[in-house]
Amino acid sequence: MMRDIVQLTSAQCNVIVRCAPAAEILYWGPRLRGFSPEDIVSLQRPVANGRLDVDLPLTLAMEYGRGQFGSPGIEGHRSGYDAAPIFTTTQADVQDNTLTITAEDAQAGLRLISELRLDPQTDVLQLRHTLENLRADAWQVQRLAVTLPVPERASDVMAFHGRWLREFQAHRLTLQHGGFIQESRRGRSSHEYFPAFILGESAFSEQNGAVWGVHLGWSGNHRLRADIKTDGRRVIQAEALYLPGEITLAQSESLTTPWVYAAFSDAGLNGMSQRYHTFLRQSLIQFSDDKPRPVHLNTWEGIYFDHDPEYIMQMASKAADVGVERFIIDDGWFRGRHHDQAALGDWYLDEEKYPNGLMPVIEHVKALGMEFGIWVEPEMINPDSDLFRAHPDWVLQLPGYAQPTGRYQYVLNLNQPEAFAYLLERLSWLLGEHPIDYVKWDMNRELVQPGHEGRLAADAQTRQFYRLLDTLRQRFPHVEFESCASGGGRIDYGVLERTQRFWVSDNNDALERQTIQRGMSYFFPPEVMGQHIGHARCHATYRRHTIAFRGLTALFGHMGIELDPVKADDDELEGYRHYIQLHKTLRPLLHSGTTWRVE
Ligand code: GLA
């Protein structure tokens, strides 16, 4: 027999769902004492004059068809038909604290499966929908959002804005009628709008107040929204943002949304972050083994494109000497890559720079007891590349238009099977023929008119990126990956399921980094935040900082250095050694303990 009211319970939270006739979250908040399903009667509200004669539920799908006039959770049509569905529950099951509700609209020929999982230990609530087309004609999806209610006292919003060199800038506002909306059409989680926000009681702080955090685990386009209804109720929506016409469901085809990760805390922002951190550690992050996070040296700001294997080996020796454990060769190692205007796509070793191959450098690095890592940017192609000259049609574009380059590059169309196969072959060569432990995977351009076979395909591009990475992870399970997109342009739980570290920002200025790291810490624990000691005179801002300030700033993350240790003077070298050693002493605590931010 189908249960009408389901109560999910975790250490400190409850989620109560009415499953039938439609799926509706009735309560999400602190653990209730002595709840019984009959208590739900107390939530019944009178019907006001001057409006519909029923009090409408805030369903998980927020159907317009019911008479919900706010932002719909589902929008789409069959050439104009079946455009206002209403879902009626046909089945509801609970297993392992996961509630699965199946609902149908036989009239419109659609099935909706909603999953809600409340993590018993950390209180993190995961939600997603799967929509299936049951009919012969295609159903065109415009929107598919998860809708969550929050109480009236959730009056303030905290969200993040940013740009290149300035990620995770937190801002606060009061939620007003008309709502708060945040969208990204850049084809990645983006520097500009990290796909998350927090609602809270007025004046909520690090230590105090009830807060409701929401994050969309997705590396593509996204929309997040919070609304006040005129009857007082408040809702949050989170969804992948679909471009016109890009999602079409043929008969029996289905669309599954990314997971929404929600966390309630009545102990302020620290309480929320601690729940997310523990959840990620237990359920999402997969390190290749349980050794401490190795201290990095990344060559980028040290030598840029100027690669000389003899010199790089000297850098490696110096790095090992100050305590580095993983040595990463950044951009500049592949054929024709002498500057940032050419060669992306030509994933063959530059034999002019490396006449004896990569192996002598790798062997040198390994003989010093370090791991070896390398930089790639597989999704991109420079017009000035052999790949582009051979396959100009592999660009992600709409025919008949010219689009602007970004950092002199276009995006490769991963939906194109030959392009996908080429990348898989080249990356498998790199990882299969060399003992590589680590890949820094970069993505330095936004998606403009992302077209495949004449139709927009941004969502599909993100899925293909995941597929490429997943295939490589299966082939090379010992290799760890870092997600970088001009610094922090692709940071989210969708990519974190597949990677072990983020390059947080191209801004290595320790002062500015404090704000960026703090912003990121609301949703991510320190061990996945790549933090490097940069040059005394920062390359991004030209500001100067002492080694103490740079060292102490990089300490609270997954530490590294990014400079040329061969050119560093003795005081600098002594500083690197000191802070690397301090980090090694503290990292067992930093990378597993409880993070507290002070006001
Ligand atoms: C991006 C990254 C940097 C570096 C360069 C290389 O900007 O964010 O860390 O890897 O590309 O071109």
Atom of ligand 1 nearest to the CA of 485: 8
Indicate which residue's Cα is closest to atom 4 of ligand 1: 300
Q: What is the C-alpha separation between 531 and 517, in angstroms, rounded?
A: 9
Q: Which two tokens stand for residue 121?
A: 């230990």
Site residues for ligand 1, CB cut-off 6 Å: 300, 330-331, 340, 375, 442, 444, 484, 486-487, 503, 506
Residue 481 region by backbone torsions, left for phi larger than 0, else alpha for psi between -120 and 50, else beta:
beta
503 neighbors 530 (Cβ within 8 angstroms): yes
447 neighbors 187 (Cβ within 8 angstroms): yes
Residue 195 region by backbone torsions, left for phi larger than 0, else alpha for psi between -120 and 50, else beta:
beta
Confidence of residue 43 (pLDDT cuts 50, 70, 90): confident
407 neighbors 444 (Cβ within 8 angstroms): yes
140 neighbors 77 (Cβ within 8 angstroms): yes
Per the DSSP assignment, residues forming a β-bridge with 297 are 327, 561
Confidence of residue 3 (pLDDT cuts 50, 70, 90): confident
Residue 165: partners with Cβ closer than 8 Å, 6 or more residues away: 487, 505, 506, 507, 512, 540, 541
Would you list the DSSP string of 62-73?
A: --GGGT--SS-S
Q: Which two tokens stand for residue 400?
A: 């008949």
Would you list the DSSP string of 306-367?
A: ---HHHHHHHHHHHHHHT--EEEE-S--BTT-SSTTS-TT--SB-TTT-TT-SHHHHHHHHH
- Mean pLDDT computed over 438-444: 98
Q: Which two tokens stand for residue 103?
A: 């609902």
The alpha carbon of 525 is separated from its chain's Cα centroid by a whole number of angstroms, namely: 14
Indicate which residue's Cα is closest to atom 8 of ligand 1: 486
Q: pLDDT tens-digit profile of 193-245?
A: 999 999 999 999 999 999 999 999 999 999 999 999 988 899 999 999 999 99
Q: Which two tokens stand for residue 437?
A: 């432990």
168 neighbors 281 (Cβ within 8 angstroms): no
Per the DSSP assignment, residues forming a β-bridge with 531 are 559
Q: Which two tokens stand for residue 539?
A: 């390359």
44-48, 253-257, 337-341, 469-473 — which is least confidently predicted? 44-48
* Pairing of the two strands 326-329 and 296-298: parallel
Q: What is the C-alpha separation between 142 and 543, in angstroms, rounded?
A: 47
Confidence of residue 1 (pLDDT cuts 50, 70, 90): low
Q: Which two tokens stand for residue 151?
A: 């109480």
Q: How far is CA 435 from CA 147, 292, 408, 469, 528, in A?
A: 46, 20, 31, 18, 23
The string over 223-237, giving b where at least 16 C-beta atoms fall within 10 Å of a residue's C-beta and e elsewhere, is bbbbbbbeeebbbbb
Mutate to test the pocket of ligand 1, among 297, 299, 331 (most ligand atoms within 8 A of CB): 331
pLDDT at 10 over 60: yes
Q: How far is CA 496 from CA 42, 117, 504, 507, in A?
A: 42, 19, 13, 21
**Which of 458, 475, 355, 500 is closest to 423 using CA atoms?**
475
Q: pLDDT tens-digit profile of 296-328?
A: 999 999 999 999 999 999 999 999 999 999 999
Q: What is the C-alpha separation between 130 and 257, in angstroms, rounded?
A: 6
Residues carrying an active site annotation? 442, 506
Query: Would you tell me how many other CB atoms lie within 10 Å of the CB of residue 122?
Result: 22
pLDDT at 527 over 80: yes
Q: Please provide residue 207's backbone torsions phi and psi, each rounded to the nearest 5 degrees.
A: -100, -25
Residue 184: what residue type? S
527 neighbors 558 (Cβ within 8 angstroms): yes
Confidence of residue 367 (pLDDT cuts 50, 70, 90): very high
Mutate to test the pocket of ligand 1, among 305, 333, 444, 501 (most ligand atoms within 8 A of CB): 444
Q: Is the dihedral of CA 392, 394, 400, 403 positive or negative?
A: negative
Residue 231 has a pLDDT of: 87
In the chain, what are the helix, strand and coil shares in percent, each to the nearest 5? 25, 30, 45
Residue 301 Cα to ligand 1 midpoint, Å, equals 9
Residue 285 Cα to ligand 1 midpoint, Å, equals 24
Atom of ligand 1 nearest to the CA of 562: 9
Residue 48 has a pLDDT of: 87
Residue 485 Cα to ligand 1 midpoint, Å, equals 8
Specify the residue for token string 């300490």. 555
Specify the residue for token string 């790549």. 530
Q: Which two tokens stand for residue 253?
A: 């085809």
Kindly calculate the radius of gyration of the chain based on its CA atoms and give it in whole angstroms: 25
Q: Which two tokens stand for residue 67?
A: 């008479």
Mean of pLDDT over the chain: 97
Q: pLDDT tens-digit profile of 450-489?
A: 999 999 999 999 999 999 999 999 999 999 999 999 999 9
548 neighbors 512 (Cβ within 8 angstroms): no
Residue 75 has a pLDDT of: 98
- Mean pLDDT computed over 261-271: 98
pLDDT at 2 over 80: no
Residue 375 Cα to ligand 1 midpoint, Å, equals 9
Peptide bond into 21 cis (omega under 30): yes
Residue 405 Cα to ligand 1 midpoint, Å, equals 17
Indicate which residue's Cα is closest to atom 2 of ligand 1: 486
481 neighbors 473 (Cβ within 8 angstroms): yes
Segments in 478-569 forming alpha helices (H): 493-496, 510-521, 547-555
Q: How many CA atoms lie within 13 A of 146 on its CB side?
A: 27
4 neighbors 18 (Cβ within 8 angstroms): yes
Q: What is the C-alpha separation between 598 and 596, in angstroms, rounded?
A: 6
Mutate to test the pocket of ligand 1, among 296, 300, 305 (most ligand atoms within 8 A of CB): 300
Q: pLDDT tens-digit profile of 71-93?
A: 999 999 999 999 999 999 999 99
147 neighbors 235 (Cβ within 8 angstroms): yes
Atom of ligand 1 nearest to the CA of 375: 10
Query: DSSP class of residue 594?
Result: -
Percent of the chain whose pLDDT exceeds 90 = 96
Percent of the chain whose pLDDT exceeds 70 = 100
Per the DSSP assignment, residues forming a β-bridge with 59 are 24
Residue 103 Cα to ligand 1 midpoint, Å, equals 46
Atom of ligand 1 nearest to the CA of 484: 8
Atom of ligand 1 nearest to the CA of 330: 10
Helix H or strand E segment including 465: helix 458-475
Residue 315 Cα to ligand 1 midpoint, Å, equals 19
